[in-house]
Amino acid sequence: MVAWRTGSILVVLLLAVAALTAGAADARHRPASTSVGVGAREYRFAAYRTSAPTGVVRFNLANYGEDGHDLVVETAGGRELARTGEVRAGRRATLRLRLAAGAYRLVCDLADHEARGMRTSFRVTR
- The CA distance from 80 to 3, in Å, is 63
**Per-residue interface string for the shown chain with another protein, residues 37-76, x marking contact by CB under 8 A:** x-x-x--xxxxxxx---------x-x-x------------
| Residue 12: CB minimum distance to another protein, A | 30
Sheet containing strand 92-99, edge to edge, reads 44-47, 34-41, 55-63, 92-99
Indicate the residue among 7 and 31 with the shorter CB distance to another protein: 31
Cis peptide bond prior to 43, omega within 30° of 0:
yes
- In the complex, the residues that contact another protein under the rule CB under 8 A are 28-29, 31, 35-37, 39, 41, 44-50, 60, 62, 64, 90, 92, 117, 120
